[in-house]
């Protein structure tokens, strides 16, 4: 079965990398497309190069930033390319506009859709990601659920596709790349604090809300442990608009740094004390055996309840006082974390490729 892998953002690239490597190992024919959703080099093609992946067969330059227009533009460009490939299966990951565009294009062209990381639910309809993942799950033919809970969500919603529990490829990626990261990365030499917390924020419902963003900045500045803050381009833009960037830059408690490559970020996760984030993927990465760090989620909900139940993650809301209290509690109590990840054993990519090959052999 000819497979086309479609990515467009940093998390998708990282999570699909183990599958691409496994396809290469098994000598399975595949094509690779980058939609250009993350247009900045540091947020997209840098990761492809860093992870030693093959160059995409096609990379797009998008003219639209508005979600609806962007999705339409990606569908048009994907339609042109997929006709040339004559692919039988589109393999997508996660909950982005790229994923939705590829899935809709596949359906219209009569191409089967395989969804990696299917079945996640936050039940928070304010999040664009929730819209995307629900729609794609219901039009996918093969659904690779990372956990039994994710599978149960899909079964309860009566999706039409076949569901397989595989684990999450992000654990594969962390295990495969941590030793390389520690050899290659020099990031620790640039960190000015001996002990620090690592913070990331980028979600629209957080950084586009002035009250929430102001609260985050105050919490970082007042944190009982220094904060290392790699700032997403979207976040920097909003900080400037709210006249908060200079405030952060002047704080002796915050080290504001540019977006990082994957290896640098892995090293910071391993060496920090606590992680503060509104990211979904980081909640998973932190559970990998070679990282095992407590995560405070700066949101009102999470689509990774398995990490909460395992003790890795605590949802602390977006309130400044709640964030500061949770940082103090985490530092004081130093929670004992499990040795294994609730998101799998690092062999998800192997399972996914075996399923694809089995389906192909049954044709």
Q: Do 313 and 307 form a contact (C-beta atoms < 8 A)?
A: yes
User: Which two tokens mark 183?
Assistant: 């050899």
Name the packing angle between helices 348-361 and 10-25 (round to 10°).
60
Task: Name the DSSP letter for residue 53.
Answer: P
Q: Do 301 and 123 form a contact (C-beta atoms < 8 A)?
A: yes
CA–CA dist 295, 256 (Å, integer)? 19
**Exposure class string for 174-188: b at 16+ Cβ within 10 A, else e:** bbbbbeebeeebebe
CA–CA dist 277, 202 (Å, integer)? 9
Among 31, 83, 202, 232, which one carries the catalytic annotation?
Answer: 202
Residue with token string 């389906």 = 359
Beta strands in the chain (DSSP E): 3-7, 30-34, 58-59, 89-93, 112-116, 142-145, 162-165, 197-200, 227-230, 254-257, 274-277, 295-297, 313-315
Maximum C-alpha span of the chain:
63
User: Which two tokens mark 277?
Assistant: 């984030």
Q: Is 202 a catalytic site residue?
A: yes
- Please give the angle made by the CA atoms of 209, 211 and 214, to the nearest 5 degrees: 105
CA–CA dist 100, 339 (Å, integer)? 35
Q: Do 185 and 264 form a contact (C-beta atoms < 8 A)?
A: yes
Q: Is 215 helix (H, G, I), strand (E, B) or coil?
A: helix
CA–CA dist 342, 313 (Å, integer)? 12
Residues annotated as catalytic are: 202
């Amino acid at each position: 079965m000819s497979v086309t892998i479609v990515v467009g953002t940093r998390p998708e690239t990282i999570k699909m990398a183990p599958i691409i490597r496994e396809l290469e190992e098994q000598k399975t024919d595949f094509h690779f497309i980058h939609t250009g959703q993350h247009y900045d080099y540091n947020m997209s093609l840098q990761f492809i190069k860093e992870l030693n992946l093959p160059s995409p067969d096609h990379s797009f330059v998008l003219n639209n930033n508005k979600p609806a227009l962007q999705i339409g533009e990606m569908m048009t460009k994907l339609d042109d390319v997929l006709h040339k490939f004559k692919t039988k299966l589109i393999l997508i990951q996660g909950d982005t506009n790229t994923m939705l565009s590829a899935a809709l294009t596949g359906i219209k062209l009569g191409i089967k859709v395989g969804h990696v990381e299917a079945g996640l639910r936050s039940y928070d309809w304010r999040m664009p990601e929730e819209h995307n993942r629900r729609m794609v799950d219901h039009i996918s033919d093969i659904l690779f659920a990372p956990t039994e809970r994710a599978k149960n969500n899909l079964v309860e919603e009566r999706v039409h596709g076949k569901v397989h529990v595989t684990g999450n490829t992000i654990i594969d990626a962390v295990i495969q790349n941590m030793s390389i990261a520690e050899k290659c990365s020099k990031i620790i030499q640039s960190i000015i604090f001996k002990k620090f917390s690592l913070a990331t924020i980028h979600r629209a419902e957080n950084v586009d809300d002035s009250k929430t963003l102001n609260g985050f900045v105050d919490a970082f500045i007042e944190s009982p442990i220094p904060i290392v803050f790699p700032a997403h381009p979207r976040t920097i833009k909003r900080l400037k608009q709210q006249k908060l960037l200079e405030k952060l830059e002047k704080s002796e408690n915050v080290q504001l740094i540019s977006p990082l490559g994957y290896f640098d970020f892995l090293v910071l996760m391993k060496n920090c004390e606590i992680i503060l984030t509104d990211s979904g993927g980081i909640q998973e990465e932190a559970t990998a055996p070679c990282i095992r760090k407590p995560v405070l989620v700066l949101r009102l909900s999470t689509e990774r309840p398995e990490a909460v139940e395992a003790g890795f993650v605590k949802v602390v809301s977006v309130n400044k006082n709640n964030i500061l209290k949770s940082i103090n509690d985490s530092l004081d109590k130093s929670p004992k974390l499990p040795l294994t990840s609730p998101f799998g054993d690092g062999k998800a990519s192997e399972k996914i490729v075996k399923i694809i090959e089995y389906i192909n052999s049954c044709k």
